[in-house]
Structure 1
Amino acid sequence: MSGAGLLALALALPAAAQAQDFSAGSAAKSWGLLGEENARFEALVVDVLCELGGDCPEDCGGGARQLGLLRSADGVLVMPMKNGQPVFSGAVADLLPYCGETVEVDGLLVGEPEATPAKFFQVQTIRRPGEADARPANRFTEAWAAANPQAAAEGGEWFRADPDVRARIEAEGYLGLGPDADAAFIAEWF
């Protein structure tokens, strides 16, 4: 089964399996998102492709793969699609140091049953069991800057300086339809 097929399978978990209330003790800050609910729980940090398909590199993919949270209370695979920063980035940089470990996370489950088969998770804090203080989930821009020092030196928003984003725009255009489609759009609309 392909990675996309495995992810679709994971997202098809019945809503009833995710119906348990995990808001007790949560200090997550609201973002005012549709269907958001506070959630604090313990979970094993896993490589999603490993968990669903058995493709298991030792280091959870070294930051190049989606990480998941296998919730201790009910065995549900929770998809942490965002960290606590206002930039819309994933949570891999925050979770990778905990690969294969059980952690306590606090954040927001987001989604409406009518629109999404499973709620996604926005991680705001992480800590190992027994640690006094939770760490904020805000490592993305720091990790990006370390991996892209020349682009980071340019300043501004990370996504405008990112070499991968720039290469994709050059090849596919801003609309993803190619530079010719971009030119026609700009000529017609601006």
Structure 2
Amino acid sequence: MWKSILVLNTFLAAPAWAQDVNFEEGSEARSWNLYAEYPARFEATVVDLLCEVAGQCTDNCGDGRRQLGLLRSVDGVLVYPNKNSQTVFSGATVELLPYCGQNVEVDGLELYDEDLGAVNIYLVQKIRRVGEDEWVTANNWTKNWAEENPDAAGRGPWFRRDPRILAEIAAEGYFGLGIAEDEALKDVVFPE
């Protein structure tokens, strides 16, 4: 009896088995050793998530001011790409925007665990238009950020120098609770 339960639980826990298509086939994605990750290569249309879900559409997928999604061709599932191939979780909009409304093939990692609420979250590592031979590595975010923020050049991680982040901290404090609350929490968080 317990062997049947173990086999059933193993079957239900394996995301690639739970789907009709084996998205791992042909994938060359590099593992991030994240829980519930599995390699996933598939064709999809790059879409504006807000347009797709709520019908609030703009030209060119919002010109990079909106989150983009992948409407998977084989099953019509909307996949949320929230990371590119770089080490920081900076999002994938920069990588996908040039393909707005186009059919692409992507290779990366999908996170899928219904118990955690992680369903169809995607970490895109490579992308190409359907029918093209050459893959494009999804690693342009920090280069684009540096070009858009030349006055923020310096050492250390980009987010410690980002003007938008620094402005938000100046207005709301590090905890987002306001400057006065931030000051009150400093002694608790950083005791001498």
Q: What is the TM-score when the length of structure 1 is the normalising length?
A: 0.86
Helix, strand or coil at the partner of 2:113: coil
> Partners of 2:69 and 2:60 in 1: how far apart?
14
Q: 1:11 corresponds to which residue?
A: none
Match of 1:87, as an amino acid? V
Percent of paired sites with the same residue: 53
| Structure having greater relative contact order (Cα 8 Å, sep ≥ 6) | 1
Distance 1:84 1:117, change over 3 A: closer
Q: What is the TM-score when the length of structure 2 is the normalising length?
A: 0.85
- Please state how far the C-alpha of 1:31 moved relative to its aligned partner: 0.5
Superposition pairs for residues 99-138 of structure 1, below 5 Å? 99-116=100-117, 118-138=119-139
Q: 1:84 corresponds to which residue?
A: 85
Superposition pairs for residues 46-85 of structure 1, below 5 Å? 46-85=47-86
> Partners of 1:157 and 1:117 in 2: how far apart?
27
Distance 1:110 1:117, change over 3 A: closer
- Please state how far the C-alpha of 1:102 moved relative to its aligned partner: 0.4
Match of 2:181, as an amino acid? A
Match of 1:59, as an amino acid? N
Q: 2:179 corresponds to which residue?
A: 179
Answer with 1 or 2: which has the greater Rg.
2
- Please state how far the C-alpha of 1:79 moved relative to its aligned partner: 0.4
Q: 1:41 corresponds to which residue?
A: 42
Helix, strand or coil at the partner of 2:142: helix
Return 5+ residue gaps in structure 2 as ranges: 1-14
